[in-house]
Amino acid sequence: DLVLSNQSTIFNKYNLIKNLQTTNLFKPLIPIAVLTFNREQFLKRTLDHLFKILPFGHPIIVSQDGTEEKVWQLITQNPNYSNRIFAIRNTERQIPQGVQGNLVVYYHIARHYYFALSNIFDKFGFDQVILIEDDMEIAPDFLEYFQATLPILELDKTIWCVSAWNDQGLPQYSQDSKILRRSNFFPGLGWMLQKSLWNELKSKWPLATGFWDDWMREPEQRKGRDCIYPEIARSHTFGSIGASNGQFYDYLQKLRLNTEFVKFSSIDLSYLFHDNYHNNFISRLAKAIVVNDYHAIVTNREQTRNQDYKYYYNSIQNFADISKSLGIMTDFKAGIPRTGYDGVITLHLENNNTLFISPHSPQQNFNDPNYRKLLKK
């Protein structure tokens, strides 16, 4: 049952924590882990950026996979970096027999994540961590965002991660830096998890299959839980060369990175708790005006303001066609569209209009056998 029990107790705990944060009496310690392989210059750029954004002395763990010496020298022998970070190194890089070609790198990545998380939680004893990779830059309020959402993650068992990323966050579809949302989709790319989730996942981590992020999106791992993500992203990738050979790079460069500091610890985020969020979402969706021409809404031909609209899709292919036309990500993972909540994509337009790209029933289960047949069409 995903509905929160004993909500008054949960809200009281949340308000107590929020008040402590607002008065600066309590700021949770959340280390940032940077995963790297052999891109010394990328790592240097990422660390330089982190040093500018984070308070001096904030714990930064750099985990290197492999034995590229330039990377190891940067994080252990260059005092500009070694004095501000803690370095760990994974040199055990065996992969299952028979794995060859382009697939090899994804096995290494999955095993590197296991190595890093094992050290962070099981050896160092941290309670939570933010994971980024060595080709990422962050927003000025990156740490504030995660510190303010950590109480939600701790108290709401229907949430299993917080991400800084918005897959659909093109400038024309993301207007408000204060808005946060829930998604059934696991985004990654700058995300926070707690030790309790690691304890749940580590015994079955996909060491033998790789593709750890797609594995996270499978129903057996997600268990109906959501991730929090911002309307305007708090992380951005500049990696044109990497494991995926720059897949989606041109698109990813267009995504908007937040530039203003939002003091989330002073904002009531209780709207993100499951019942509050879900009931408000369903209510808005039900009241939204059904349209037959989504381009007219996106271009705001009627010059409307503060209006909710919805456009229905009826299959994977139909969704892909709509998304391609709108210039957003088209794919589904484990039956869920990127940033989707109950199959619905939310695009915040200019003039505070919102367009919901929605299945006819927001409760539609995209993992059922009938829906799976649509994947083949």
pLDDT digit string (tens) for 43-65?
Answer: 999 999 999 999 999 999 999 99
Structure token pair of residue 169? 């966050």
Q: Looking at the predicted structure, is the pLDDT value of residue 174 above 50?
A: yes
**Percentage of residues in the chain having pLDDT higher than 90:** 79
Average pLDDT over residues 120-147: 97
Which alpha helices (H) appear in the chain, and where do they start and end? Answer: 7-22, 40-53, 69-76, 79-82, 104-117, 142-155, 195-201, 212-217, 219-222, 249-252, 274-287, 294-298, 316-326, 369-375
Cα angle: 64, vertex 69, 75; to 5 degrees: 55
Q: What positions carry a catalytic annotation?
A: 213
In this predicted structure, what is the pLDDT of residue 367?
A: 53
Between CA 233 and CA 83 the distance in angstroms is: 29
**Percentage of residues in the chain having pLDDT higher than 70:** 90
Average pLDDT over residues 89-107: 84
Instruction: Judge if pTM exceeds 0.85.
Output: yes
In this predicted structure, what is the pLDDT of residue 11?
A: 72
User: What's the pLDDT tens digit per position in 265-305?
Assistant: 999 999 999 999 999 999 999 999 999 999 999 998 889 99
Closest-CA residue to 366 (of 296, 324, 322, 313):
313
Confidence of residue 93 (pLDDT cuts 50, 70, 90): confident
